[in-house]
Structure 1
């Protein structure tokens, strides 16, 4: 039996990165039930090509598509630009990869599911979506509560969703005598189901694992034998605090069962979708497949080489841009990497294969990002250092990470804000 090594969980934050990633699917938003009142009659304006459906969605055909009709269950790929009633753009896929989702599954706001289903591949349309088919009365990022949203969409492609590979037969966790668990100071319980003879990971290294997870009552949470193995950086709590502690006890080839108390799982809140309830005890069986070196640290910059602003922002231009300045209201498309104060990479848009669009001045990623981008030019590469106040704004006092964050951005494109005549 392997002996425990004590590793207190290191609480880090991915809040800023989560905000950035949310921008990739701002059009999606929180899934809400699709209205279904059984009515099919629409009000149609023949001259404008506008039709108002029974639910209140207004659909304006801009260019008829010649491809197949989108059907619920199809994998649809779209380009889009979203604006508020006053013309303020809050998100766009233009300049980056189109957005794909399965139609009719509640993975996007109801107005999208309904509107895209009216289109054929190759078509273009404007969707005018009332609040009850969008985000309702609540604010959502840069979108004020009660907003009617305007989306210019192009249906790039429609394809049937591939037949999924049948999942392996769901099985309960391996039966373990409670007396056989080793219990750490944090409350983690673990038991080695199989022992390997490979290396042991360290904080900051990237591990690849297979896992199966359950609630305490045996409800299956996930099985990577279906989805494929996953990678995460140890010590960054990309998955759960208890996972970091567990893999630091393992060698490559080990298969371990762990029992996580709520504080090492999702705590008092549970999951946002309610599937994992508050204060849930979670059970996982994790197999450590491999260990990779950690991502490289940020570029080393002498303190004297930073430009320091009155707010405390530190900025260093790695590669100058074109001289085309960024202004409030402009949309920049960029890749980014972010590290904590200890130099551990928290997240990188390169890992997701898609850059991030940001509207400058809306604090979509925190006030420090806006300040830094306004000091840069299009196509520049830069590093900036954010205090918690610059990273999290009004939420800094509640941020779980009190240290500074280092960010490197590569600006790939700039779309200037429209100016009023």
Structure 2
């Protein structure tokens, strides 16, 4: 059954919800690199060694590396040459920059993820990859279906993804007698824990809040005090409907505990990454820190930049990327927080949504699939202050939710306005 077209507010909701969901204690990000004990992997015991793994990958070590071993979640840079069984070369990075990707996230064929993970930085190897670990029975450009592929690879660099900051201390919500809650017609339950004497916000104004969130059983899932306050436009349902209702009852300086039934929270669907389950009742404690005037009315976004198909860079996952304006800042890496404006269109040019229309950019933590796997893959190929267009298949646009997604590719354009590098442990 074909489902209805994406709601005009849906992508904005997903992106701005990232301000909330990015703080989830249980958020699933890239695999954390495992500590290396300094010993050679048992997959290849000596220089020049060769073996066939359980999956059918044939790994031939040509020159042992002397650097760190690549781990899932690392950003790896590789030079390579790919040939068919008859010796025909179909692709090579020779003469250009190394190819970079995050290991173990499915952004390359499975044989690459498995083979590169057996290498150390500086090493060279030959990967003989059967069809089931490559492109299977389907033709892929110059590669016929059911092809066994040979790649001569050199692992140029391994950069570990920074270790995520520890989660906030799991403090329980303030104990409240259920009879003490005020209950509104919508089902919102709230009680003032502390009262301020500032102004009360109005619809359309921008509020700044700190918050902590728990499930009904008292399990902590988010705490903005571990990062920074959250801003949202009152009445736009940018975060949760219950937040809009509650904050309109508050003054600056108030601290409120509220209980949101599913219809005032994330409803029947839950969070995009599955961390908050469907039909969850949520408890929040929110402090209203400040109020700002409504954002100015934005200029409508123009149509997508016209890009010739041959000008797109196409990755193994099917992502198509075109850099409209090269960045002048640092490269975006997993764990970084980027602030950006975005616009999304259907393939026929119908605009679904634009953050410009909402008057403010949005933050995204890269590598946590807060939005979708395609967003992470695209952002990891960009630099700060760049402008780019990328085209996502439904699988790349919706990830695990693809079974309920509309048909057809989506066109995104992003303008990266700022980059906050992930903190690394000293």
TM-score (norm: length of structure 2):
0.51
Name which of 323, 328, 334 aligns with 1:333. 323
Q: CA deviation at 1:284?
A: 0.8
1:14 to 11, 15, 19: 11
1:219 corresponds in structure 2 to: 219
* Residue in structure 1 matched with residue 286 of structure 2 by the alignment: 286
Q: Displacement of 1:361 after TM fit?
A: 8.8
**Secondary structure at 1:14's aligned position in 2?**
helix
Contact 1:210 1:229 in 2 (8 A): yes
Q: Distance in 2 between matches of 1:135 and 1:234?
A: 48
- For 1:127 and 1:239, the matched residues in 2 are separated by 47
* Cα-to-partner distance string for 1:161-195 (whole Å, 9 max, x where unaligned): 55855743x23211222233222232211111112
Per-residue CA deviation, residues 99-123 of structure 1 (Å, 9 max, x unaligned), is 779x89x999987875554343466
Deviation at 1:149, TM superposition (A): 12
* 1:136-285 mapped onto 2 (5 Å cutoff): 156-159=157-160, 161=162, 164-165=165-166, 167-168=168-169, 170-271=170-271, 274-285=274-285
**Partner residue in 2 for 1:343:** 357
What is the aligned partner in structure 2 of residue 403 from structure 1?
A: none
Aligned counterpart, 1:76: 74
Q: Distance in 1 between matches of 2:131 and 2:30?
A: 14
Shift of 1:357: 5.8
Rounded Cα–Cα distance in structure 2 between residues aligned with 1:351 and 1:250: 30
Asked if the contact 1:63/1:124 (under 8 Å) is kept, the reply is yes
Change in Cα spacing, 1:270 to 1:80, as seen in structure 2 (3 Å) is farther
**Structure 2 residue aligned with 1:389:** none
3-state SS of paired residue (2:268): coil
- In structure 2, how many angstroms separate the alpha carbons of the residues matched to 1:329 and 1:315? 18
SS in 1 for 2:269: coil
- Superposed CA deviations along residues 305-325 of structure 1, whole A, max 9, x for unmatched, are xxxxxxxxx7498xxx9xxx6
For residue 275 of structure 1, report the CA deviation from its aligned partner. 4.3
Unaligned runs of 5+ in 2: 1-6, 19-27, 32-40, 137-145, 314-321, 325-339, 344-352, 367-382, 398-404, 418-426
State the Cα RMSD in Å.
6.1
5 Å matches for 1:85-164? 114-115=114-115, 117-121=117-121, 156-159=157-160, 161=162, 164=165
Q: For the residues of structure 1 that align with 2:122 and 2:293, how far apart are their CA atoms?
A: 44
Does the aligned pair in 2 maintain the 1:78–1:99 contact within 8 Å? Answer: yes
CA distance in 1, matches of 2:228, 2:251: 20
What is the CA–CA distance in structure 2 between the aligned matches of 1:77 and 1:180, rounded to whole Å? Answer: 52
Q: How is 1:260-409 mapped onto 2 (pairs within 5 angstroms)? A: 260-271=260-271, 274-292=274-292, 296-299=296-299, 315=303, 326-327=308-309, 330-331=312-313, 332-333=322-323, 336-338=341-343, 343-345=357-359, 347-348=361-362, 358=389, 394=407
Task: Return the offset for 1:42.
Answer: 5.1
- The 1:347/1:191 distance shift into structure 2, 3 A limit, reads same
Figure out how many residues of one structure are paired with residues of the other and give that number: 315
> In the superposition, relative to structure 1, how do residues 179 and 358 fare at CA in structure 2: closer, same or farther (>3 Å)?
same
Stretches of structure 1 that go unaligned for 5 or more consecutive residues are 1-9, 22-28, 33-39, 137-145, 302-313, 367-391, 397-406, 413-421
Tell me the alpha carbon deviations over residues 260-294 of structure 1, each in whole angstroms, 9 at most, x when there is no partner: 10111222233456543332211111122334555
**Distance (whole Å) between structure 2 residues aligned to residue 249 and residue 211 of structure 1:** 16
Cα separation, 1, equivalents of 2:264 and 2:281: 9
TM-score by length of 1: 0.51
> Are the aligned partners of 1:270 and 1:278 in contact in 2 as well (CA < 8 Å)?
yes
User: Is the partner of 2:179 in helix, strand or coil?
Assistant: helix
- Contact 2:265–2:281 under 8 Å retained in 1: yes
How many angstroms does 1:249 deviate by? 2.8
| Change over 3 Å in CA distance of 1:346–1:154 after alignment to 2 | farther
Distance 1:234 1:121, change over 3 A: farther
Q: CA offsets per residue over residues 345-388 of structure 1, 9 Å max, x none?
A: 4755799885576555968899xxxxxxxxxxxxxxxxxxxxxx
